[in-house]
Amino acid sequence: MKHLLFLIGFIGYQSKIQSAITCRDPTGKAVDWFIVYKVPKTTADKTSNGHFNGTEFYYMDNSSIFFEYRQSNISSETNNPLYNTLQPLYSKNTDIKSYAMYNDQPPMGNTRSDKAHSKGAVAFDKDNGFWMVSSVPHFPAKVSSGFIYHSSQTKKGQTILCVTVPAKMKNKINQIFQLTRPYIYDTVNFNVAESEESNAMYMNFATSGNNKLILFAKPKQCNEDIYSKFIAPMFQQKLFVQTWMEKLDDDKWVEDIKYVRFYNGPAFETNIDHSKWAVADNDPWTCIGDLNRDV
């Protein structure tokens, strides 16, 4: 049984954010949200449409209409939205009031199968914060280690969603963590009690720029696939779902994606793609999270 932290939402509004602790674009500018889709490492063949090192990525944020291809190295400190967003933590910015880094496959130590299949980081100052939801194992590195994106993390495709949120949303995030029980390996002032709730839940959520999101979560005791049993039926929409090594068959609500191609860019089979995302068949719902199709 796995746990889930999952975000789904419309993409829309822009915002002006006056805070050190926010999501940041490749230039370091504060943004309301961004999505990074890191491509897998591939060789030049008929499916990959060229050679890719696995350090390149596609990027979009609240000012974008389409994904933009970035040849920037995701392991680098230059032109990197991940580094720019996390840098206040690594520089020990005194504005930070609380933070937590979590991953069932932590940077050091064994996989924590007793905890949520959940990966990411959250941080707040007195006004705002960011929440980064990731599919990347062993990421992010602890504050004491500095920013690291290892070469071993470049082999497969990965997705990262970052949302900038007002400080008042910390309580809602804490509620989700109480249910999902992520493995928090580095934290300051972010204490999470564990809930005995056994049912899946959803929660309305808003970014600092007033983008409306819905969070879906389920606890250890819930032995249901969140995509086919909760998300798709709620929206009455079939979902096309990309997750790692699907263990469940297609049904009337879910069809597994087998192949990904970017326009004029890389193409790859999903057996080298560790990302977690879904799109609705007819409506503009985009889902990004950290759980595979599983029960």
Note whether residue 64 is domain-resident. Answer: yes
Per-residue pLDDT at 240: 92
Note whether residue 48 is domain-resident. Answer: yes
Domain that holds residue 167: 4-224
Confidence of residue 193 (pLDDT cuts 50, 70, 90): confident
Per-residue pLDDT at 210: 93
Note whether residue 252 is domain-resident. Answer: no
pLDDT at 10 over 50: no
Per-residue pLDDT at 80: 98
In this structure, the strands spanning 239-242 and 254-256 are parallel
Q: What is the mean pLDDT of residues 37-55?
A: 75
Mark 228-246 as b/e (b = at least 16 C-beta within 10 Å): bbbbbeebebbbebbbbeb
Q: How many residues does the chain have?
A: 295
pLDDT at 16 over 60: no
Question: How many domains in the chain?
Answer: 1
pLDDT at 279 over 80: yes
Note whether residue 293 is domain-resident. Answer: no
Strands lying side by side in the sheet with 212-218: 201-206, 212-218, 4-9, 286-289, 277-280, 239-242, 254-256
Q: What is the mean pLDDT of residues 23-37?
A: 97
Q: What is the mean pLDDT of residues 155-176?
A: 95
Confidence of residue 246 (pLDDT cuts 50, 70, 90): low
Q: What is the mean pLDDT of residues 106-124?
A: 91
Per-residue pLDDT at 48: 53
Q: What is the DSSP letter of 40?
A: P
- Please, are residues 294 and 247 in contact by the beta-carbon 8 Å criterion? yes
Note whether residue 124 is domain-resident. Answer: yes
Q: What is the mean pLDDT of residues 186-214?
A: 87
Question: Lowest-confidence range among 135-139, 229-233, 244-248, 277-281?
Answer: 244-248
Per-residue pLDDT at 22: 97
Note whether residue 290 is domain-resident. Answer: no
Per-residue pLDDT at 295: 55
Query: What is the pLDDT of the chain when averaged over all its residues?
Result: 87
- Name the more confident of 49 and 225: 225
Note whether residue 229 is domain-resident. Answer: no
C-alpha 148/C-alpha 131 separation (Å) is 18
Percent of the chain with pLDDT strictly greater than 70: 89
Using DSSP's 3-state secondary structure scheme, residue 6 falls into strand
pLDDT tens across 207-233, in order? 999 999 999 888 777 778 888 888 999
pLDDT at 189 over 70: yes
Per-residue pLDDT at 244: 78
Using DSSP's 3-state secondary structure scheme, residue 271 falls into helix
pLDDT at 17 over 80: no
